[in-house]
Chain A
Amino acid sequence: MDRRTFLLGCGGCAVMPERFTRPEAQSDEGGLWAYMDRDEERLQRSPFLIRDPALNAYVSSIACRLAGDHCPDLRVYIVRTAQFNATMAPNGMMQVWSGLLLRAGNEAQLAAIMGHEIGHYLLRHGVERLREAKSRAATGQVLSIGLGFFQLLGAAVSSLAQLGLAAGGLAYGRDHERAADRIGIELMARAGYAPAEAARVWSQLLEEAPAEQSILFATHPPLAERKEVLAEAAARLGGGHVNAEAYRERLAPHRGAFLHDEILRGHYGETLVLLDRMPPDGEVLFYKGEAHRLRGELQAAAAAYRSAEAYPDAPAELFRSLGLVQRRLGRSPTRAFTRYLELKPGAPDAELIRAYL
């Protein structure tokens, strides 16, 4: 059966490919596989790998459910990186970045992206892309930065840009992305997730960064088309669960750190759109305040911090930020700073805060 069409138009009746065996070392696929093995070894030692067993077990179990018989061949790694991305390598290594975990509203949305990546894996797109690049490059004499390419298989954000391939290259990428979308939504549905969530992830992303001509959008099918295709598939495949509560619970211990990384990106407008989508609590409102503060919107920042105060999970840093804003607005920061020092007497900036008081 043609690998590219095996799950199309069949509403769950088609057959998955057999599990993959390690290719010959001399082959192009073998070379790619072994290279990614070494990359995986490096990743295992990276300080940016999130090792929390509970979160890993949760995310891996989702991948396992989606991948069915291929589950034993997959290894999922959660990487602390603020961008929305997931990647999948031909050797079975999947990466889920923290920027994605932050943006998925529920388990089904995470499953949608992971299903899409597993689609690339099942269709062996990594090797196809390499072969296609070679044959196209041979006629175009285009030089590629090989090392960069292999780092970013899957939802390749910047690899095609690095390769410097012309529009021909992007069109090929889109075909792959369309196929992966189709597989992904099938896998989601089979695993019991609501397929309508797949289109939702992309609309949410577009809401955050509507004008952004990011490579993510350049290498993927136009969003309108994508949403339409996914919506049609969802209508055909029916309902399913989203598991919003379970997802929020699992994410909760890490969300503060991820939000901190998000703020540091410096795209405050996008961050505010993202935060507005989340149900309000102390942490969410604190970071809203941070986004406003860093944009110079001091009144809005102060208002957000004050709203956050009402919640039990408000972080101590809220009082430090409130104090800093009040200083800038010419008001007294004493109450806020004092509260901060009460809550965090060993804070790294305690010395300076005390000097302000």
Chain B
Amino acid sequence: MLRTAVFVLLAIPLAALAQARLADGFAQLPAGASIVLMPADIELFEISAGGVIEPRADWTRVAAAHIERRLRSRSGQWKEFPAGSDPAVDGVFRLHRAVADAIIVHHFGSLKLPTKEGRLDWSLGPDAAPLAARTGADYALFTWVRDTYASEARKATMVVGALVGAALGGGVQSAYMSLVELKTGRVVWFNRIRRLSGDLREGDAAAETLDALLAGFPG
């Protein structure tokens, strides 16, 4: 419910570029720090001519692979996320999602919290500990992507729509990445993009999108 609402919020007024943010006092990952790459939450959709949004498995899989490859190519100790379910770890996922929602709405969005005074000041506190215990990592990197692309038929209707003066949505890219310091639970870096352009499906466009998503990554 709140999740869907946040997605809708993101989609309504589409603003300009992403803004990377660091928590107070955090500038760079310490040398030798290990990071666990959390399983990314990615869904890529296609919009058909009439506006029906349908999931595209092939694109989603490719995008997930792009993101993982790109991250692992950066220097740093990348830890595997362990297989198998663990309710404690699942709890951390859920909590992180709520923290990310709060950051998106109240830090990047228009409903800023005056008490934060513009700072990126959110933490999962000791509730992040199960993740440290399970992975042995110092940091965790979360990724969330929702992206829609216009099919060729859709693009054709958009052209027609433009000719008759109707505005038809062509596709929205919403994504975030979040770096959590596991010993304190602090969100030390959070980046979010929300824009009309961008393409995670292949080639140079995917690289560009990942550049945008990783802008200011302190590693």
Q: Do chains A and B touch in the complex (CB under 8 A)?
A: yes
Interface residues of A (CB under 8 A from B): 25-26, 28, 30-35, 38, 44-45, 130, 133-147, 150
Residue contact B54 to A130, C-beta cutoff 8 Å: yes
Out of A25, A44, A139, A144, name the residue touching B58 (CB < 8 Å). A25
Contact B51 A137 (CB under 8 A): yes
A35 touches which one: B50, B52, B57, B169 (CB < 8 A)?
B57
B54: which A residues are within 8 A, CB to CB? 28, 31-32, 130, 134, 146
Q: List 16 A-B contacts (CB under 8 A).
A: A26-B56, A28-B54, A33-B57, A35-B43, A38-B43, A45-B85, A45-B90, A133-B52, A134-B50, A134-B54, A138-B49, A141-B51, A143-B169, A146-B52, A146-B53, A146-B54
Nearest A residue (CB) for B48: A134
Complex Cα distance, B61 from A136, in Å, reads 29
Within 8 Å by CB of A147, from B4, B58, B153, lies B4
Q: Is the CB of A144 within 8 A of B57?
A: no
Residues on B with beta carbons closer than 8 Å to the beta carbon of A33 = 57
A146 to B53, CA, bound (A): 5
A144 / chain B contacts, CB cutoff of 8 Å: 51-53
The verdict on B118 contacting chain A, using a C-beta distance below 8 Å, is no
A34 to chain B, nearest CB (A): 3
Contacts of A34 in B (CB 8 A): 55, 57, 60-61
Chain B residues near A38 (CB-CB < 8 A)? 43
* 11 additional contacts (CB under 8 A) given A130-B52, A134-B48: A25-B61, A26-B57, A30-B58, A31-B54, A31-B55, A34-B57, A38-B43, A44-B85, A133-B52, A134-B50, A143-B51
Enumerate chain A residues within 8 angstroms of B190, measured Cβ to Cβ.
none
Q: Chain B residues near A35 (CB, 8 Å)? A: 43, 55, 57
Chain A residues closer than 8 Å to B85, beta-carbon distance: 44-45
Complex-state Cα separation, A135 to B51, whole angstroms: 10
For residue B108, CB closer than 8 A to chain A, the reply is: no
Given A35-B43, A45-B85, does the pair A138, B48 have CB atoms closer than 8 Å? yes
The main secondary structure of chain B at its interface with chain A is: mixed
**Chain B proximity of A98: nearest CB distance (Å):** 20
Complex Cα distance, B60 from A330, in Å, reads 65
Q: Which residues of A contact B50 (CB under 8 A)?
A: 134-143
Q: Could you give, for residues 52-73 of chain B, a 1 whenever the CB lies within 8 Å of some chain A CB and a 0 otherwise?
A: 1111111011000000000000
**Which listed residue (B49, B57, B169) contacts A31, Cβ 8 A?**
B57
State the Cβ distance, A283 to closest chain B Cβ, in Å: 30
Report A-chain residues with C-beta under 8 Å of the C-beta of B51.
137, 141-144
- Whether a CB of chain A sits under 8 angstroms from the CB of B45 is yes
Min CB gap A165→B, angstroms:
10
Q: Which residue of B lies closest to A34 (CB)?
A: B57
Contact with A along B1-36 (1 / 0, CB 8 A): 000100100000000000000000000000000000
Name the A residues within 8 Å of B49 (CB-CB). 134, 137-138
Cross-chain contact of B57 among A30, A133, A134, A143 (Cβ < 8 A)? A30
In the complex where A134-B48, A137-B48, A137-B50 touch, is A150 in contact with B61 (Cβ < 8 A)? no
**A285 to nearest B CB, angstroms?**
35
A237 to B128, CA, bound (A): 59
Q: Min CB distance, B16 to chain A, in Å?
A: 25
Residue on B with the closest CB to A146? B53
Q: Which of B125-171 contact A (CB under 8 A)?
A: 153, 157, 169
A137: B residues at CB distance < 8 A: 48-52
> What residue in chain A is nearest B45 (Cβ atoms)?
A146
